[in-house]
Amino acid sequence: MRRLLAAWAAVAAVAGLALAGPAPASVVALQDDRLPNLTGAPLVARLDLLASTGTRVTRVDVLWSRVARSRPADPTNPGDPAYDWSVYDQIMRGLAQRGIGVILDYYSTPAWASASGAPNAAPRAAEAGAFAGAIARRYSGTWRDSAAAAPLPEVRRIEVWNEPNIEQFWTPQCRRGPRSRYVPVAARGYAALVDVAAREIRRANPDAIVVGGVAGPAGSTDDRGKTCRTGSESVSVGSIISALRANAIRIDAWSQHLYPIGAPDRAFFFPSWRSLEQLTPLLDKLRPGMPVYVTETGYHTSYNRFHRYFVSEPQQARWLTQTFDIADRTPRVAVTVWFNLQDNPSWTGGLLHADLTRKPAWDTFARVAGAAPVPQEWLP
């Protein structure tokens, strides 16, 4: 009997079920992708705007190409003169002052770091991994940007890249191979990057949480990552997991972006909230019970070319509530980040219109964020 109970406990733990009382609620978070485009007083105002939503956690995109306009001599050293962290230092200090915790992701290959010079060019693992180390060291909680200043805030959660399974962020996804067949290359390349980045991040801050995947809502190759039907196909989420597993690469959490077609509790096309059940067994093969970070989700309120599915503004508000409800009922999901604060012509999933007027979802988010507990470990 005891053996049976032990077995059941193990199974339940693997399945992510909570045996000792209710599971911790998924942390409610909101991203503002305009932050890195501002400095000085406009940045301060923007940080106040973000804080006024009630969010206690946010996600910040670090653009590698902006921080490292030229090749650093010592790429893991955040003090290398080639690096310009000024915007990010302001952002991190500003968020910490407002009591907002941070998840960092980084992407955008500098021109010097690829043959094509394109920001979506697949990075070389050694260089992009070293940059992850520089980020982790700079925001390890001990780094001082000048002798007189207080140390910069610590950011523990670092996502390796953004949506490596989407051509907009990582190209090529597939490459022409022998006998004119296309073979997927993005998953293998990304796994190589995570391998280096995870090592460098942990070396810089042993307490850091390395978040891998950061997978976009796309990808259609087979999960073993053997073939691409065409040169323009994107690699699947499963093939990235397979590549990480094949190389025994250790990550602490998996990040998945969800943009469901349909209501959060009904949509089941992969990836969606309902299809997370398909994802978790794959993640368990990387590490049993690995937490899932939903670091982008949302609903657009008008058509745009990056996201061709939209809902009405009242629907967006209702489905925002459902999104965080379903996240709360999904024990594996540690955090859910609504993307984005404000609309722009390419992205209309904001709580605010482009002219900063509020959508109904603004009040809904404020209510949800206000009611959601945030564990201390997520706060600055």
Partner 1 sequence: MRRAALAAPCLALLAWGAAPAAAQAPTAPLEKWNEISAAALTGTDLLALDTETVRVRRRLAGGGLGPVEFTYHKTDLVGVGLAAGRRRFTRAAFDTRLAIRNSIGSQSGARLATGTDGASVVLPGAHGFAPPVVWCCPASGIEVVVESDGRSGAQRALAAGLDGTRVRMLMRSADGDVALVSASPGLLANPDDLDESRTAVPFAGRPSGGLAAIADGVVAWTEDPATGVVRHGAPADTGVTDVADTRFGGRVLRVWAAPGTVAALVRTGRVASVRTLEVASGTVRTVWRGTSLPRVAVGGGAVAVADGRRILAARAGPVARVAQARGPVAAIAVDGDRVAWFERVVIRRGGKPGRWTVARLARVTR
Binding residues vs partner 1 (CB under 8 A): 261-263, 266-268, 274, 277, 300-305, 308-313, 315, 345-346, 348, 353
Q: Which is nearer to partner 1, 227 or 275 (CB)?
A: 275
User: Least separation, in Å, of the C-beta of 343 and partner 1?
Assistant: 9
E-assigned strand segments in 94-223: 101-107, 157-159, 174-176, 182-184, 209-215
User: Least separation, in Å, of the C-beta of 78 and partner 1?
Assistant: 32
Q: Which is nearer to partner 1, 81 or 117 (CB)?
A: 117
User: Least separation, in Å, of the C-beta of 265 and partner 1?
Assistant: 9
User: Least separation, in Å, of the C-beta of 308 and partner 1?
Assistant: 5
Q: Which is nearer to partner 1, 79 or 262 (CB)?
A: 262
User: Least separation, in Å, of the C-beta of 61 and partner 1?
Assistant: 17
Q: Which is nearer to partner 1, 39 or 312 (CB)?
A: 312
User: Least separation, in Å, of the C-beta of 241 and partner 1?
Assistant: 20
Q: How many CB atoms lie within 10 A of CB 310?
A: 16
Q: Which is nearer to partner 1, 12 or 246 (CB)?
A: 12
Distance CA 24, CA 16 (A): 12
CB 57 within 8 A of CB 28: yes
The contacts of residue 172 (CB under 8 Å, 6+ apart) are 122, 185, 186, 231
Distance CA 197, CA 238 (A): 20
Q: Which is nearer to partner 1, 145 or 313 (CB)?
A: 313
User: Least separation, in Å, of the C-beta of 116 and partner 1?
Assistant: 17
Tell the residue number behind the tokens 């996240």, with chain if given. 327
Which 3 state secondary structure label does DSSP give 91? helix
CB 292 within 8 A of CB 283: yes
Residue 245 buriedness (CB in 10 A; 0-12 / 13-18 / 19+): middle
> What DSSP state is assigned to residue 357?
P
User: Least separation, in Å, of the C-beta of 319 and partner 1?
Assistant: 9
The tokens describing 24, both together, are: 């911790």
Q: Which is nearer to partner 1, 277 or 363 (CB)?
A: 277
- β-bridge partners, 59: 103
Distance CA 198, CA 281 (A): 22
Distance CA 173, CA 183 (A): 9
Q: Which is nearer to partner 1, 54 or 262 (CB)?
A: 262
